[in-house]
Each structure stands twice: as C-alpha cells, then as structure tokens.
C-alpha cells in the first residue's frame, strides 16, 4: 500500500467503502497470524516517573496522585496468577522510574523465567543501554516503547527531553532489536497538532522499522496535564487535525495490519475506553490479534491513571480474564496458547 493510499483511507468517511478496508485487514490478519487471540497479562509495577510528557497523567509534576512501586512478592503473585490463567506472556510496565534498579529488575526477570514458561515483556521507558543489556541477559524477551508520533517537532512539544539527553526512541528501538528483543512501538491517535500527513508517516514508519508489536490507541485528554488543558488554538489547521475518535483508531489498526502483516497488534484499553461495549471486539475484527488483560492489583490500578476513565479500572484480574475470553469467543476467534511471539514468514 502506498503512502497516498494510506492517506486516502485515513480521510475516508463513507461507511460502505470503509467495509472494504475492514475486510482487507481481517483477511491479512487471518492469513498471517491466524485466528488465535493471544493474552498478555499486564502488570503496572510502578507509577513513579521522572518524565514530563504533556499528555500523561503519571508525569512527575502531577502531585494529585498517590505513588506506588510494587514489591517483588506482589509482582510474583500476579505472575503466578498469569500462569494459572494460561497467559503466555506478562508485560511489566511502569513510568520511567529509576527507583526500579537495574539489578533488582534483572533478578526479577530471572525469577519469572525460572519459575514459569512465560515470555517477559518490559515497558519501562527510555532506560540507559546498560539496563537494556542487563535485562536481556536476564532473559527478558520483548520491549515496548511507543514513539508516539514521527513528527519531531510535535514530539518535542509533548515529550520534553531530560536535561542534556535528547530523547531518541528510534535509536532505542534499533538497539533493542540488535540486542535480540522483539521490539514493540506505536503511536497515539489524535494528539492536538497531529496532522493526517504525520499520521501517514507514522504508519509508514511502522513498516520501515519492521516492528514485532505495534500498539495504537486514541489520545485521551487528562485534565491534570498541560496537553489536557489546551484550547483549540493548539489544534492543526482545519481539515488537517486528526480526530482522536474510535473510527480513526480502527482505520489506523486496519492500515497497520495491512502494512505490517506479521506484527502482533493489540486491541488496546484506550480503544475500549471509548467504546466499552464493543471496542475490543471491533479492534480484533479490523486487524488486531492481541488483548492485554490487567493483572495489577485493583488498589494500585486506580493510581495508574495515564488517562482518565480508563476501561476496566475496577475489575479483578479474574473478571478481566473471563471478560476477555467471552469477547474473543463471541466473535468466532480462539484463545491463544503459548507465548504467541512474532511469527516470521519463511522465505
Ligand atoms: N491518552 C492515550 N494514551 C496515552 N498514553 C499516555 N498518555 C495517554 C493519554 N492521555 C499512552 C502512550 C504511552 C502508553 C503507555 O500510553 O502512548 O506510550
Ligand atoms: Fe476489561 Fe472486560 S474488557 S474486564
């Protein structure tokens, strides 16, 4: 698919014609990654963060939330729950929290790998190279780091670099692949100032980076963040601004599947937040093949508020598991077994 075609589809609004896009994405999904939907247990291990991302509710300057960091025992309890539920992978996610020490996390990864058969995915921000090396040596399999937008100017506006260290997520993604991680990235859809041209570039960048996992979701304004308090003047000019809608999210999921046929693509919680009744299922029917049931203990989950009114905030891990199973089966798909890593096509 050419860039012009990507742009054309992003701007298409005719429901009948969009059916063709959904059909194409679903066929590519079926042919390349099959009908299994893999479950990744998400554990939000800490909401401390040193960064000041303009969009994110756990940014360092948000004093309105309580902070927590889970202990090794608490995390292992969630991990064993994941095993019991038959999940093939756990995702350890946090803010960029240097209270999570290199050695401590390496030991935790080793423990998970020795006690379970699960794949371990990390999503811990822009950590220094030595951390990425140590955690890979400890056995971590995958790393998620969204580049958020490929428009450098917009990126710098919403994601200030740390003093003296220019944020370069593309360099980190290349390095992750070099180290043997499966690399995951993605963007938010409808950030104020995001244009159709830059979103087209984002999707083309997924293809260029040959990512193993790609997560996309709508941008959801958080009232206690700078971006959440913006007025309409910050939007791109009329006709250029990408809306942060459910419909736009499906288009991006579908186009991502078509340009990256083998990638693992989740139907995200941010999407479910816009349509709790059917968002997850529609994501899965329009290109996605992964869901990430939450394993974080509810008392911490409410504090991991990167955006408000997050779907499934008060469900227990067990509720989330049954809910996901039911949703997967309701659309005629299968619950995946095993780690569900990227399947690369044989040439
Ligand atoms: N709305 C939607 N997604 C958000 N994220 C962070 N803040 C928001 C928000 N306000 C996404 C970012 C980040 C991922 C963990 O959550 O893309 O990489
Ligand atoms: Fe999250 Fe059902 S979709 S508990």
Give the pLDDT of residue 345.
64
Q: Which atom of ligand 2 is nearest to the CA of 311?
A: 1
* Domain assignment of residue 344, yes or no: no
For residues 147-152, give the mean pLDDT: 97
Probe target for ligand 1 pocket from 43, 306, 308, 309, with the most ligand atoms within 8 Å of CB: 306
In a domain, 341, yes or no: no
pLDDT mean over 211-232: 92
Pick the more confident residue, 344 or 258.
258
Segment 51-71 mean pLDDT: 95
Whether residue 180 has pLDDT greater than 70: yes
Among protein residues, the one with the nearest Cα to ligand 1's atom 14 is 146
Ligand nearest to the CA of 57: 1
Q: What domain range is 245 assigned to? A: 3-335
Residue 136 scores a pLDDT above 70: yes
Q: Compute, in angstroms, the gap from residue 306 CA to the centroid of ligand 1.
A: 6
In a domain, 9, yes or no: yes
Give the residue whose CA is nearest to atom 4 of ligand 2: 320
Q: Is residue 343 part of a domain?
A: no
Position 72 pLDDT exceeds 70 = yes
> What is the 293 CA–ligand 2 centroid distance (Å)?
7
Ligand 2 in contact with 312 (CB < 6 A)? yes
pLDDT of residue 310: 83
pLDDT classification of 11: cutoffs 50, 70, 90: very high
Q: What is the 3-state secondary structure (H, E, C) of the chain?
A: CCHHHHHHHHHCCCHHHHHHHHHHHHHHHHHHHCCEEEEEEEEEEECCCCCCCCCCCCCCCCCCCCCCECCHHHHHHHHHHHHHCCCCEEEEEECCCCCCCHHHHHHHHHHHHHHCCCEEEEECCCCCHHHHHHHHHCCCCEEECCCECCCHHHHHHHCCCECCECCCHHHHHHHHHHCCCEEEEEEEECCCCCEHHHHHHHHHHHHHHCCCEEEEEECCCCCCCCHHHCCHHHCCCCCCECCCCHHHHHHHHHHHHHHCCCCECECCHHHHHHCCCCHHHHHHHCCCCEECCECCCHHHHCCCCCCCCCCCCCCCHHHHHHHHHHHHHHCCCEECCCCCCCCCCCC
Centre of ligand 2 to C-alpha 309, Å, is: 13
Cα–ligand 1 centroid distance for 255 (angstroms): 20
pLDDT at 161 over 80: yes
Return the residue whose CA atom lies nearest to atom 2 of ligand 2: 323
For the CA of 93, the closest atom of ligand 1 is 15
Residue 347, in any domain of the structure: no
Percent of the chain exceeding pLDDT 70 equals: 99
Please state the domain count of the chain. Answer: 1
Check residue 313 and give its pLDDT.
83
The pLDDT mean for the chain works out to 94
* Residue 315 confidence (pLDDT) above 90: no
User: What is the number of the ligand 1 atom nearest to the C-alpha of 306?
Assistant: 7
Q: What is the CATH number of the domain that holds 315?
A: 3.20.20.70
Q: How confident is the model at residue 316 (pLDDT cuts 50, 70, 90)?
A: confident
pLDDT of residue 344: 72
Q: Is the pLDDT of residue 347 over 50?
A: no
**pLDDT above 80 (res 186):** yes
User: Each residue of 227-238: pLDDT tens digit?
Assistant: 998 877 788 988
Instruction: Work out which ligand 2 atom sits closest to the CA atom of 323.
Output: 2
Ligand 1: atom nearest CA of 218 is 2
What pLDDT is attached to residue 346?
55
- Looking at 112-116, 301-305, 307-311, which range is the least confident one? 307-311
Q: What is the pLDDT of residue 312?
A: 83
**Residues 286-306 pLDDT 10s:** 999 999 999 999 999 999 999
When pLDDT is averaged across residues 15-38 and rounded to a whole number, the result is: 97
pLDDT value at 325 more than 90? yes
Pocket of ligand 1 from Cβ distances under 6 Å: 55-56, 146, 148, 188, 217, 219-220, 222, 270, 306-307
Choose which residue among 278, 284, 323, 331 to substitute to test ligand 2 binding: the one with the highest number of ligand atoms within 8 A of its C-beta: 323
User: Measured from the CB, is residue 278 less than 6 Å from ligand 2?
Assistant: no
Mean pLDDT of 188-214: 97
Mutate to test the pocket of ligand 2, among 309, 315, 331 (most ligand atoms within 8 A of CB): 315
In a domain, 140, yes or no: yes
**Which pTM does this prediction carry?**
0.95
Q: Which of 267, 316, 324, 326 to mutate to test the pocket of ligand 2 (most atoms within 8 A of CB)?
A: 324
Quick check: is 18 in a domain? yes
Asked whether residue 342 is domain-assigned, the answer is no
């Amino acid at each position: 698919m050419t860039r012009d075609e990507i742009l054309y589809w992003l701007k298409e609004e005719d429901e009948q014609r969009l059916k063709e896009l959904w059909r194409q994405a679903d066929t590519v999904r079926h042919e390349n990654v099959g009908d299994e939907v893999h479950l990744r247990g998400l554990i939000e291990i800490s909401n401390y963060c040193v960064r000041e991302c303009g969009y994110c509710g756990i940014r360092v300057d948000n004093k309105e939330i309580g902070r927590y960091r889970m202990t090794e025992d608490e995390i292992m309890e969630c991990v064993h729950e994941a095993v019991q539920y038959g999940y093939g992978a756990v995702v350890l996610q946090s803010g960029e929290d240097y209270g999570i020490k290199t050695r401590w996390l390496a030991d935790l990864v080793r423990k998970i790998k020795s006690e379970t058969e699960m794949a371990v995915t990390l999503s811990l921000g822009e950590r220094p190279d030595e951390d990425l090396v140590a955690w890979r040596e400890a056995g971590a399999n995958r790393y998620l780091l969204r580049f958020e937008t490929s428009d450098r100017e917009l990126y710098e506006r919403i994601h200030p670099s740390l003093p003296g260290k220019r944020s370069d997520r593309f360099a980190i993604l290349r390095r992750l692949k070099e180290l043997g991680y499966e690399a995951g990235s993605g963007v938010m859809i409808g950030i104020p100032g995001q244009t159709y041209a830059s979103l087209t570039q984002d999707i083309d960048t997924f293809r260029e980076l040959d990512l193993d996992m790609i997560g996309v979701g709508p941008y959801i304004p958080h009232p206690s963040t700078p971006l959440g308090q913006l007025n309409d003047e910050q939007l791109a000019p009329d006709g250029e601004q990408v809306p942060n809608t459910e419909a736009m999210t499906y288009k991006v999921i579908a186009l991502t599947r078509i340009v990256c046929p083998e990638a693992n693509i989740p139907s995200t919680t941010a999407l479910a937040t816009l349509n709790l009744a059917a968002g997850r299922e529609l994501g899965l029917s329009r290109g996605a093949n992964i869901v990430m049931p939450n394993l974080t203990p509810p008392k911490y989950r409410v504090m991991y508020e990167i955006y408000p009114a997050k779907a499934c905030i008060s469900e227990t891990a067990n509720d989330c598991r049954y809910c996901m199973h039911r949703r997967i089966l309701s659309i005629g798909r299968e619950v995946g077994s095993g780690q569900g890593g990227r399947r690369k096509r044989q040439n």
